[in-house]
DNA sequence: GAGCCGATATTCT
DNA sequence: GAATATCGGCTCC
């Protein structure tokens, strides 16, 4: 799995769609299937690593499989999976997922029963992810771990929520037309 | 369903 | 002091 994650973010990102992310944070078990991702590279103006290493993005320069968790807009935690060579500053942002286990816990954490994990901030809240998980190894940690699954058909689109390099088609989501409609 | 807008913290200018 | 890889609540279709 590490070998696979060592490829560049735009190569790894589409393959991550369909994988599971399991959390035991706070003693509750929650599992989701990744449905939407975005790739960010070091020479990417929209990437946090573009301006060099800093206190906030330090873990983005760690080895492949490292979790890079940051606070967005002062409110929302967002989870990235570091890819590429150590020190390169590449990562895949997890934007959306489908709850496959621990739905009760997720509803409790989110305070609502709809739109549980359809955004990076919501995804982290659902799994209980905060800055505490920044820098952990997603291939070995017991509280937050990636589980490899067969990749699913994806479609590529431009990234959203950013103001630079918006022309790069580095967002991937499950191709609903191939998987015969929403679950 | 789409579009506007305020809330809020850390970083960088 | 401005910008930001967002969200939820509100409006108006």
A35-84 residue pLDDT tens: 999 999 999 989 999 888 888 899 999 999 999 999 998 889 999 999 99
On chain B, which bases lie within 7 A of the protein's CB atoms? 7-13
Per residue in A79-118, pLDDT (tens digit) is: 999 999 999 999 999 999 999 999 999 999 999 999 999 9
Mean pLDDT of chain A: 92
Contact of A95 with A166, CB cutoff 8 Å: no
Nearest Cα residue to A119 out of A72, A153, A58: A72
Å from the A30 CA to the B10 C1': 29
pLDDT value, residue A179: 52
pTM of the model: 0.93
**Distance (Å, rounded) from C-alpha A151 to C-alpha A177?**
16
pLDDT value, residue A2: 66
**Distance (Å, rounded) from C-alpha A85 to C-alpha A89?**
8
Chain centre to alpha carbon of residue A9:
11
Å from the A115 CA to the C9 C1': 14
| Residue A81, Ramachandran bin (φ over 0: left; ψ between -120 and 50: alpha; else beta) | beta
Residue nearest to nucleotide B12 (CA to C1'): A51
On chain C, which bases lie within 7 A of the protein's CB atoms? 3-9
Task: Tell me: pLDDT of A137 over 50.
Answer: yes
């Amino acid at each position: 799995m590490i070998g696979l994650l060592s490829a560049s973010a735009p190569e790894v990102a589409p393959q991550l769609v369909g994988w599971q992310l399991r959390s035991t944070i706070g003693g509750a078990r929650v599992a989701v299937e990744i449905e939407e991702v975005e790739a960010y590279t070091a020479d990417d103006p929209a990437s946090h690593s573009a301006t060099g290493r800093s206190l906030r993005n330090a873990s983005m320069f760690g080895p492949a499989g490292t979790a890079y968790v940051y606070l967005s807009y002062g409110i929302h935690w967002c989870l990235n999976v570091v890819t590429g060579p150590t020190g390169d500053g590449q990562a895949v942002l997890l934007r959306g997922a489908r709850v496959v286990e621990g739905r009760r816990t997720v509803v409790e954490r989110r305070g609502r029963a709809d739109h549980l994990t359809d955004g990076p901030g919501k995804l982290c809240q659902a799994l209980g992810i905060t800055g505490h998980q920044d820098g952990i190894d997603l291939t070995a940690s017991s509280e937050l771990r990636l589980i490899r699954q067969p990749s699913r058909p994806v479609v590529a689109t431009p990234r959203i929520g950013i103001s630079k390099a918006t022309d790069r088609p580095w967002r991937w989501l499950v191709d609903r037309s191939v998987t015969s409609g929403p679950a």
